[in-house]
Structure 1
Amino acid sequence: MLKYVIIFLLIGGCTTKEISKIYHSESLIIKQLSDHSYQHISYLQTDDYGKVACNGMIVVDNHEAIIFDTPAENEVSEELITWVEYELTSKVVAIVPTHFHSDCLGGLATFHERQIQSIAHNKTIQLLDSTAVIPWQGFDDFINLTVGQQEVIVDFVGKGHTTDNVIAYFPSEQILFGGCLIKSLKAGKGYLGDANLEEWSDTVEKIKSKYLEIKTVIPGHGEAGGTELLNKTIEMFQSENQ
């Protein structure tokens, strides 16, 4: 059974203001972060870490939406798209996987079945094997995407969790989706099989220097926060390049 949880803030004892809306099923959670942005959370079953919660971002404006990272399963991708269409009354115009692992594009086939444009860094496309579902459009370095009247920047700043990891920055609401390049405050180093440990801290330093107005940071796994997540990630991998 799907359920919606709405949290209200009491103001002056006589009026209320909705500050957060959460959609919650067994397979998908959606949190509202700001007027035009949402965090979606789904799950990946792994051998080493068990059932892992995986984050993505939704940016919505003028009845259009862009989703960053798919759920790992096609069925959950269908649930996510349906929620955006019916609850946000918005058409999903693009899906952007932020690197080549299955927690970013495992549910890509569902988006393609709905003729939703998929956009990924060319390195991501190159790293996928012949059995994978391949994104339709590639880019080098960065791309500016438009959703309604809003702009979202997708940027390859450098290597870290993988050699292809990109970030998405939503300037008007100062939100960074760092994906698995960025660690939550309670996170360990996680899976490092495709990582560049020597460059990871430098890459996150470059993000801090390039996007000075960041207020909210969504990591690939774990709780969202502020720029302290960037600092945590830099410190975690700093010793690797010394």
Structure 2
Amino acid sequence: MRNKDGSIILTKLNNEVWVHTTYTEMDGYLVSANGLIINSSKGIYLIDTTWNEPLANELLKMIKQTFHKQVKKAIITHHKIDRVGGVPALLKNKIPVESTSFISKSAKKEGYSKIAPTLDRSPVLKLGKTTLETYYPGEGHTSDNIVVWLPKYKLLFGDMIFALEQQNVGIIDEANMSAWPYTIQSLINKYPNAKIVVPGHKSWGDFSLLPHTIENLKDVDK
């Protein structure tokens, strides 16, 4: 399912979980970013908010048309624009936006305030029959990046993970290149039974994205 100009695509993974993919232009190229929509019995939960306000407003409209529900809450997985760009639109629609205190402080420095630091004390959310767990594995793409784990579906989402077709490390202006491989190894150790792995950009797949990410990082100057 996509909007008229193709800037937003919604892809169903199962009865409860969808991927929202949004596109923006950077240096003449269209760049995608993935997030999750969880259609639980307790309402719609959004993981990450798109690149900007217009895309976020369009996404909220598509969610309402598709699921006939409002978004109950949004979770942010790090402080950079592809995750937080739509925060103002959500707040204007009175949708709570939550994360860790680390991400909240980092986002505030970038001009995105009012992200509630609730995940420090409540990293696990019960969404009806679905449990959502958040976890900070260490520094990687950013110093504050977290992952989302849905144990019911053995689904892992994180923007420090590379798609199989990605053969470079992308934008690393805030990355900790020395720590990043160890961060991914911690994910391998913690989620050895992951069946669906959704990266922050490009195509999702299975557990193989995790060792691929480590391989992708090997030849980069630390």
Q: Is the 8 A contact 1:55 1:219 kept in 2?
A: yes
1:154 is aligned, of 134, 155, 158, to 134
Superposed CA RMSD in Å reads: 2.0
The question of 1:41 aligning with 2:21 is answered yes
Query: What's 2:32 paired with?
Result: 53
- Shift in Å at residue 140 of structure 1? 3.1
Distance 1:131 1:209, change over 3 A: closer
Taking the aligned partners of 1:24 and 1:131, their CA distance within structure 2 comes to 29
Q: Which amino acid aligns with 1:54?
A: A
Query: What's 1:133 paired with?
Result: 112
1:194 is aligned, of 159, 174, 178, to 174
2:195 is aligned, of 215, 218, 223, to 215
The question of 1:66 aligning with 2:45 is answered yes
- Shift in Å at residue 156 of structure 1? 0.7
SS at match of 2:79: coil
Q: Which has the larger radius of gyration?
A: 1
- Shift in Å at residue 129 of structure 1? 4.6
Q: For structure 1, list consecutive stretches of 5 or more residues without a partner in the other structure.
A: 1-21
Q: Is the 8 A contact 1:158 1:199 kept in 2?
A: yes
1:124 is aligned, of 88, 103, 119, to 103
Taking the aligned partners of 2:35 and 2:109, their CA distance within structure 1 comes to 25
Q: Which amino acid aligns with 1:67?
A: L
Taking the aligned partners of 1:111 and 1:129, their CA distance within structure 2 comes to 16
Taking the aligned partners of 1:130 and 1:233, their CA distance within structure 2 comes to 29
Distance 1:203 1:131, change over 3 A: closer
Taking the aligned partners of 1:132 and 1:147, their CA distance within structure 2 comes to 30
Taking the aligned partners of 1:190 and 1:153, their CA distance within structure 2 comes to 27
The question of 1:174 aligning with 2:147 is answered no
Number of residue pairs matched by the alignment: 219
2:164 is aligned, of 164, 185, 197, to 185
SS at match of 2:158: strand
What stretches of structure 1 move > 6 A for 4+ residues in a row?
none
Q: Deviations over 1:107-162 (max 9, x none)?
A: 11111011111111211122235561224311338711232331111111111000
Distance 1:124 1:117, change over 3 A: same
Taking the aligned partners of 1:142 and 1:162, their CA distance within structure 2 comes to 22
Query: What's 1:25 paired with?
Result: 4
The question of 1:88 aligning with 2:70 is answered no
Distance 1:142 1:197, change over 3 A: farther
TM-score, normalising length: structure 1: 0.84
Q: Deviations over 1:147-195 (max 9, x none)?
A: 233111111111100000011011111111112x001111121001000
Instruction: Give % identity.
Output: 25
Q: Is the 8 A contact 2:23 2:33 kept in 1?
A: yes
TM-score, normalising length: structure 2: 0.91
1:163 is aligned, of 132, 143, 146, to 143
The question of 1:78 aligning with 2:57 is answered yes
Q: For structure 2, list consecutive stretches of 5 or more residues without a partner in the other structure.
A: none
SS at match of 1:137: coil
